Amino acid sequence: MTKKKILSIIAVVILIAVLGYEQFLDNQKEDFIIEEGKKPKAATNQYFLPTSTTNQVVHHQHYSLSYSEKHEQAEWVAYELKASDLSRNNFKRPYFEIDNAVKTKAAHWRNYKNSGYDRGHLCPAGDRKFTKTAHDETFLTSNISPQKHAFNAGIWNRLEQKVRYWARKNDGVFVITGGVLENNLQTIGSENVAVPKKFYKVILDKTSSKIKMIAFLVPHKDSKLPLYKFVVSVNKIEALTGIDFFKELEDDLEERLESSSSYKNWSF
C-alpha cells in the first residue's frame, strides 16, 4: 500500500469520527438556548403570537411560549404545524428538563410525581417529530400542564390528532394552546403548579386565500362528545384569559373571525 493510500484512509476515518461526534453532541445537547444566528421558527411567525399577560415570552427553536410564574406553567404555547412536520419517527421519550430560558425559574417535573396528574404536553411531542432535537425540545417543564390522564389520553388527545389532520389536509396551521389560568386554582407539588379547570386551543389556517380560525374550550375531564361540541369563539377565550390573539390582523377582519363560533369551514 502506498503512503498516499494510507493517508487518504486515515483522512476518511478522521472525517467520519468528526461527523459522528458532532451528531453525538447534537443529540446530547442539554439546554435549548437558541444559538446565535439560528432564528427560531416560531419567532419568524411573530405576527401570529398572542400578547403576554405575564410579560415573559420565551422563544425556542420550534415553538414559543408565555410563562406564568404564578401558575408555574405557560399561559400559552404557540407553534406552526406544517404537513411536512408530521413524521413517523419514533424517538425515545427523554426526561423533562427545567427550561433555563425562563428567567423566573420554570417548575421541576418532580412537582408532578405521584400527584395523580399527567405531565401534559402543550406543544405535543407528536407534532415535533421531524428531528430528535425538535422532539426533545418539547420535554421542557415550561411546555407542560397538570392534566388528568383520562383527559390527556382521551378528548385532548383526540383534539391533538384532529389538529394533525387539519395540518395535513390544509398543509399548515398555526396553533396556540394552554390552560385557562385563574386565581385560587388547586395546586400540586412543592412549587404549587396550578391545575387548570379548562384548556383551550386556538387554530389559524392561513394557507388558503381565505384565512380561517377555530377555537376550542374543553373542561378538564374526559368526554365522549364530538369535538365540535367544544367550539367557541376566540373572543370567548380572550375574555376568559385576558390574552389578545392575532391583534396584528386588520381590525375588521380580526373582529369578524374572532367573534364567530362557527365550524362550517372545518371538516371533522
Partner DNA sequence: CTGGTCAAC
Partner DNA sequence: GTTGACCAG
Active site residue 121: yes
Angle between helices 234-241 and 251-258 (to 10 degrees): 90
The whole-angstrom separation of Cα 4 and Cα 206 is 58
Q: How far is CA 199 from CA 176, 181, 196, 202, 240, in A?
A: 11, 9, 7, 10, 11
The CB-of-55 to DNA minimum distance in angstroms stands at 26
Instruction: Note whether 165 and 266 are within 8 A (CB).
Output: no
Q: Which of 121, 135, 149, 220 is catalytic?
A: 121
Instruction: Note whether 60 and 74 are within 8 A (CB).
Output: no
Q: Burial-class residue 200 by CB neighbours within 10 Å (0-12, 13-18, 19+).
A: buried
CB-nearer residue toward DNA: 164 or 247: 164
The whole-angstrom separation of Cα 33 and Cα 56 is 15
Q: What amino acid is encoded at 133 in this protein?
A: T
CB-nearer residue toward DNA: 110 or 229: 110
The CB-of-117 to DNA minimum distance in angstroms stands at 7
CB-nearer residue toward DNA: 203 or 213: 203
Name the site residues for DNA (rule: CB under 7 A).
90, 92, 95, 112-114, 118-121, 124-127, 129, 144, 149-150, 152-154, 157, 160, 222
The CB-of-225 to DNA minimum distance in angstroms stands at 14
The CB-of-83 to DNA minimum distance in angstroms stands at 16
Instruction: Note whether 63 and 137 are within 8 A (CB).
Output: yes
DSSP state of 81: E
CB-nearer residue toward DNA: 164 or 236: 164
CB-nearer residue toward DNA: 39 or 113: 113
Q: What amino acid is encoded at 73 in this protein?
A: Q
The whole-angstrom separation of Cα 179 and Cα 119 is 13
The CB-of-261 to DNA minimum distance in angstroms stands at 26
Q: Which residue matches cell numbers 427560531?
A: 40
Catalytic residues: 121
